């Protein structure tokens, strides 16, 4: 391989890497949308106790399923996707479970609690969104 060919190959690899990283930005969108749906879910369950939880969870699962279908159509999977997504879901599960459990036991009539619990469920998604954006834009 000549020096010019090596230079061209390196340049093509850099262009491809930038394209791939740009396509990886979808995960941040996914995480932000997931967080928004979660925020509404916790607020609804907490502030409107007459709303059956199973109905709200069904709506939540339908929206999450739509996000998963959308995510599966993306052309590129971000670096460490499985690790990031698993950490987000596990962290969200802890925040959601603690928020609802403590809220239903001690703060049923306190709107401030439900707002804070909803905000806590948003954090895992926003953190992963920021990490994903940082990774996808690190060479742009």
What is the SS3 assignment for 102-137? HHHHHCCCCHHHHHHHHHHHHHHHHHHHHHHHHHHC
Question: For residues 87 and 7, what is the distance between their CA atoms, to the nearest angstrom?
Answer: 39
Token couple for 114: 């439900």
pLDDT of residue 92: 96
Residue 32: other Cβ atoms inside 10 A: 17
How wide is the angle at C-alpha 101 spanned by C-alphas 119 and 59, nearest 5°?
65
Indicate the pTM of the whole model.
Answer: 0.76
pLDDT tens, the chain, 140 aa long: 677 776 666 676 666 666 655 556 788 888 999 999 999 999 988 888 777 778 888 888 898 898 888 877 877 677 777 888 899 999 999 999 999 999 999 998 899 999 999 999 999 999 999 998 887 765 44
Give SS3 for 137: coil
Residue 11: other Cβ atoms inside 10 A: 10
């Amino acid at each position: 391989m000549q020096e010019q060919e090596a230079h061209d190959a390196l340049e093509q690899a850099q262009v491809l890497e930038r394209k791939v990283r740009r396509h990886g930005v979808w995960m941040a969108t996914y995480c932000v949308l997931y967080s928004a749906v979660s925020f509404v879910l916790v607020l609804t369950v907490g502030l409107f106790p007459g709303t059956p939880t199973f109905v709200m969870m069904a709506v939540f699962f339908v929206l999450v399923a739509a996000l998963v279908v959308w995510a599966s159509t993306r052309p590129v999977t971000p670096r460490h996707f499985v690790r990031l997504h698993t950490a987000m879901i596990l962290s969200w599960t802890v925040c959601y479970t603690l928020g609802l459990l403590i809220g239903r036991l001690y703060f049923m009539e306190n709107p401030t609690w439900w707002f804070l619990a909803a905000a806590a469920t948003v954090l895992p998604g926003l953190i992963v969104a920021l990490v994903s954006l940082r990774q996808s834009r690190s060479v742009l």
